[in-house]
Structure 1
């Protein structure tokens, strides 16, 4: 049997809520040892095609973090999505019923957690109401010491770092490291380099914090109410403290020199780095013309349409792809659960920085050598790793037959 990935997902299904009519989707792109990994998002307009693309991306993220000597063994890629506004009063009920419907898959094949529109606390509460032991229980049979592993992860989720949970920070730490590697390779200093961030939730907020602390100047932040800008730099910590649960900043917290702009103004902000950290498909063939930054660093999943990325590349603007850039959160879960790192913030950040720096550097070196885009280089790295993973571990819990 070939170990090459199939062109279509292993499982693709759509569920319709019998109470509200909202639809939800699950796509399992690939299994490794019979298990897959990928978050659950909730947003109005979420489609099966979107979820399928995200699931393929998860397969890549897992493979990119494959370390033959590590305890964490990559899983397959999967993703869930619900077509519902998370602010809808009926959203929580829809989530519970979705998880009940997906319970057999979660128990056996699919490990999941928070994604766009949902917090981990909300997912866990709904999962408990749906009768699930855990949203990651499918991976438990793969652990050497399940009890110790679960305690370690639970302890890690309880760690607070300067007012924000560790679990909400590690992904942004990885995104920030991707930015810093790009700057270092280009010989651009950190201090004073300007950044605009679209989305100020878990990923965008953490990215802004780490970049600000690294000396960069965050000049614009966009949320659902518009763009907040200050060419001299925003007070990131003040804005973080003024967020609601959906990443929207209370405008009463703005400094006198901060000013408000339309929602899409982050695109044309005078900055060297743009970080789309909110919704998919944010940059298209039309609005990409507004971008003058040197780098677009994808903290969100699939924020730049492929056609737009080609046009940006033709203008000398590099897109650092989501499958690498935002993979830190998923990897941190498994590094902690499998025991590569302990429940410690300093250890988590150090391990994330080191791993992401090595991965970003590998990708950019490959892109330079091949004369391709960073995304094409990442795909090439994955293509080389997937057969080795399949041969060693098998899709369904045993090595693939030759």
Structure 2
């Protein structure tokens, strides 16, 4: 689904999920356009989806499906047209297969037609942790704005997948106290702070953070992370976790949306009324597409950037985007979410006007 390309080529992930449908993919394509515009990278918004339970497919069958997808849409894809990336249940390995099929069809070497690839065929250093790295860069900018010391703050993280786990590591490295880590089975809590590395190791070995109970840590319901007595709440799992029904029980003063859509519109109203700052997903988790942009640049120019270079450029991009959103919010007296969407839509509309489309 291609939403808008006024700011640049269409950009968005491809998901393999049994519940993927046109409505979902259309909404996600629009969000991608907004996300790219918020951080000021020259891409539009798109999304792809295949309604399939990939867990029931063999590796060979997944590869065959990936090649069939590219054959079906090849004329609509390309480095200057529509640049896919991994999404739910798609991986760098799948991106590599899709690239191979596209290059077989075109007869050309075109690594920039897809991002999120393995390093061996043009992927970018830093892509594996980009979402969390970008989110923490934004959070650090907010804390600096408010003269808050991370080492004096407590954090609760919902979701210990790639992004949530990396966010917890980074925040603990900055001295923050991680008092709650949650997965789908429950929440592990410790008032004086968890040993993040130990908990994540146990999770990897046994399948749940709840198996890491030790020295005063205790297990609680999965929903307990939302109401944890933390300064910062990081929802990094599923959508619609903070709703009108539980928003008033949130104790955190700052919510960093690493997941897509974890706070509902009704909850947003409740949180705003209580002066809880929500750093919206379209800003907070834009680190992934930003490093995808860096990968695209490297593929186009033949350059290879090391991780330190990527991280420095990501920090600069996310910090600049935060500054623009924060200033807009302050000047207009609106929430960060309202500011982010207003800035993004203005940029998209300006690009459409410049092209004579409106």
Superposition TM-score tier, normalisation by shorter sequence = 0.7 to 0.9
Compared with structure 1, are the counterparts of its residues 256 and 48 closer, same or farther at alpha carbon in structure 2 (3 Å cutoff)?
A: farther
Assess if the C-alpha contact under 8 Å between 2:7 and 2:348 holds in 1. no
Compared with structure 1, are the counterparts of its residues 113 and 336 closer, same or farther at alpha carbon in structure 2 (3 Å cutoff)?
A: closer
Q: 2:143 maps to what in 1?
A: 183
Does 2:332 match 1:370?
A: yes
How far, CA to CA, are the matches of 2:237 and 2:356 in structure 1? 38
Q: 1:112 maps to what in 2?
A: 84
TM score, norm. by length of structure 2: 0.83
Q: 1:171 maps to what in 2?
A: 131
Q: 1:20 maps to what in 2?
A: none
Q: 1:223 maps to what in 2?
A: 183
Compared with structure 1, are the counterparts of its residues 196 and 82 closer, same or farther at alpha carbon in structure 2 (3 Å cutoff)?
A: farther
Question: Cα deviation per residue 1:89-118 (whole Å; 9 max; x = unaligned)?
Answer: 248647853762454435533322222344
Q: 1:10 maps to what in 2?
A: none
Q: 1:353 maps to what in 2?
A: 315
Query: Following TM superposition, by how much is the alpha carbon of 1:128 offset from its aligned partner in structure 2, in angstroms?
Result: 6.8
How far, CA to CA, are the matches of 1:139 and 1:173 in structure 2? 31
Show structure 2 runs of 5+ residues with no match: none
How far, CA to CA, are the matches of 1:33 and 1:378 in structure 2? 16
Question: Cα deviation per residue 1:18-70 (whole Å; 9 max; x = unaligned)?
Answer: xxxxxxxxx2211258731111334554443332222111101222233xxxx
Q: 2:217 maps to what in 1?
A: 258
Query: Following TM superposition, by how much is the alpha carbon of 1:138 offset from its aligned partner in structure 2, in angstroms?
Result: 12
Query: Following TM superposition, by how much is the alpha carbon of 1:270 offset from its aligned partner in structure 2, in angstroms?
Result: 0.7
Q: How many residues align structurally?
A: 345
Compared with structure 1, are the counterparts of its residues 230 and 40 closer, same or farther at alpha carbon in structure 2 (3 Å cutoff)?
A: farther
Query: Following TM superposition, by how much is the alpha carbon of 1:332 offset from its aligned partner in structure 2, in angstroms?
Result: 0.7
Does 2:12 match 1:41?
A: no
Matching residue within 258, 274, 286 for 2:233: 274
How far, CA to CA, are the matches of 2:143 and 2:47 in structure 1? 32
- Aligned with 2:182: secondary structure? strand
Show structure 1 runs of 5+ residues with no match: 1-26, 67-72, 160-165, 393-398
Does 2:214 match 1:214?
A: no
Compared with structure 1, are the counterparts of its residues 96 and 287 closer, same or farther at alpha carbon in structure 2 (3 Å cutoff)?
A: farther
Compared with structure 1, are the counterparts of its residues 228 and 38 closer, same or farther at alpha carbon in structure 2 (3 Å cutoff)?
A: same
Deviates more, 1:254-263 or 1:211-220: 254-263
Assess if the C-alpha contact under 8 Å between 1:54 and 1:301 holds in 2. no
Q: 1:127 maps to what in 2?
A: 98
How far, CA to CA, are the matches of 1:348 and 1:234 in structure 2? 30
Q: 1:65 maps to what in 2?
A: 39
- Coordinate RMSD, CA, aligned: 3.4
Q: Give the structure with the higher percent helix.
A: 2
Q: 2:198 maps to what in 1?
A: 238
Q: Runs of at least 4 residues of structure 1 off by over 6 A?
A: 150-153
Compared with structure 1, are the counterparts of its residues 167 and 107 closer, same or farther at alpha carbon in structure 2 (3 Å cutoff)?
A: farther
Q: 2:2 maps to what in 1?
A: 28
